[in-house]
């Protein structure tokens, strides 16, 4: 059994963990149908393992130096690598509040913009969901994840998304490529954060 298989088994078999990952972190292992057939640009298959609330899907790529990179494909046509393996992906998903919005407000992949967005998103998440740290601790303990500081998670996410080209670009059956996960907005473009 690989470390990825072991981690997926822990999620399925540890009471309450799959539900907590779905309800608090938008990582639902019981919804893994993406809605359209996709593959990596390298031609390698993508194995769907979980879905988010908005129709996006988390995929495992083929083995690469003993690891299986995790690719996320949104329902709106953005896709790319989010981590080098499932453990690293779960550390980002659980430790970085609304990680997709951190990418959306990245100014095309600026580490500085992502760090600013992450701080604002974390502030809002703690305000709106005071028990989030308790949920993070529970998932980390059950799955042997590290609680990684937010700046490190932001840097890891940026590096992973940057590594998408060329082989891990998500491609449809007709050959259309998904757009980058990096959005062009800046944190200052969100009027809710101008406080």
Residue 89: closest CA among 106, 73, 68, 110: 68
pLDDT digits (tens, 9 = 90+) for 93-102: 999 978 999 9
Distance CA 59, CA 95 (A): 19
Residue 102: closest CA among 113, 91, 94: 113
Q: Report the pLDDT value the prediction gives residue 15, as an integer from 0 to 100.
A: 92
pLDDT digits (tens, 9 = 90+) for 54-95: 999 999 997 667 678 999 999 999 999 999 999 999 999 999
pTM: 0.94
């Amino acid at each position: 059994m690989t470390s990825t298989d072991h981690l997926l088994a822990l999620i399925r078999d540890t009471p309450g963990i799959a539900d907590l990952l779905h309800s608090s972190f938008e990582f639902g292992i019981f919804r893994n149908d993406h809605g359209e057939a996709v593959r990596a640009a390298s031609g390698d298959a993508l194995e769907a393992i979980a879905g988010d609330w908005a129709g996006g899907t988390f995929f495992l790529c083929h083995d690469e130096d003993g690891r299986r990179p995790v690719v996320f494909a949104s329902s709106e046509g953005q896709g790319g690598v989010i981590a080098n393996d499932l453990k690293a992906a779960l550390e980002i998903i659980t430790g970085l509040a609304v990680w997709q919005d951190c990418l959306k407000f990245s100014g095309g992949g600026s580490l500085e913009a992502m760090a600013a967005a992450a701080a604002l998103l974390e502030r809002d998440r703690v305000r709106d969901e005071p028990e989030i740290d308790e949920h993070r601790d529970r998932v980390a303990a059950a799955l042997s994840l590290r609680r990684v500081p937010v700046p490190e998670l932001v840097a890891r996410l940026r590096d992973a998304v940057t590594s998408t080209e060329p082989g891990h670009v998500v491609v449809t059956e007709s050959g259309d490529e998904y757009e980058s996960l990096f959005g062009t907005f800046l944190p200052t473009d969100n009027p809710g954060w101008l406080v």
